[in-house]
Amino acid sequence: MSNAMDKLVTLTTASGPLQQTLIGETLRGAGIAFETYEKGFLPSTILGQINPLQEIEFRIPVERQQEAKDLLCANGIVCEISERLLKRSLEEIVKPLLGQRERDLTRLARFVEINNKETVRALFNATSRESGGEDLLEDLFFTMARDGSRALLSLARIVGPGSGDSFRDRFRHEGTGGDKAIRLGLLEVLPEFTTAPWRDEVLRAALDDEDTDIREAAKEAAFFATG
């Protein structure tokens, strides 16, 4: 077993069930054997087993590493962070959405959902520097909150520190009177907004809500916000 393990190298780490499934299916389709390991836990030795509740590290034979990287990138699942990747993402996904009053964020949201954290964070940062990029990220933020996206936390750390009046007003409005799905999403990232004067208002409204799920989410947010 030790000799076989020595021949395996890390391919990538997946943080969501969709990305984990896509990577596993793509590797199997190409006949590339892999093992998965739950980050922070004892490694799983079952070939190809995926636990969707944890971050999963994929390891493959070293001789097929480059082939696997090229395969995942060609399928738009995971690409190494590079100027080429950022340029392609900006040109093909982000820029067509800039300045539009009514825009379909489906493709951008899917890209964010299936790619790793490093790639997503790099795209968020690049988008914020584009003219109209902050408005686009604001729309994406609330769309992702409603959809329960796992990448919402990464985006919160980008838009939070420099959020403008429009974002703050929208967060307060959706966080106190929006539908259940978006309120649950916003409560999950609320502790990231440490200096926001409206954070307590959103939290109090949730703690007093009649819905049990919202109250429980608010208690968790309060714990992580205050310790």
pLDDT, tens digit, 9 for 90 and up, residues 82-108: 667 778 889 999 999 998 888 999 999
d(CA 44, CA 37): 5
Instruction: Flag residues of the chain having pLDDT under 70.
Output: 1-6, 39-54, 79-83, 161-163, 227
Pick the CATH number of 2-74 from 3.40.1160.10, 3.20.20.100, 3.30.70.790, 1.50.10.100: 3.30.70.790
Q: What is the pLDDT of residue 32?
A: 94
- Enumerate the domain spans of the chain: 2-74, 83-226
Position 219 scores a pLDDT of 94
Q: Report the pLDDT value the prediction gives residue 81, as an integer from 0 to 100.
A: 63
At 119 the pLDDT is: 80
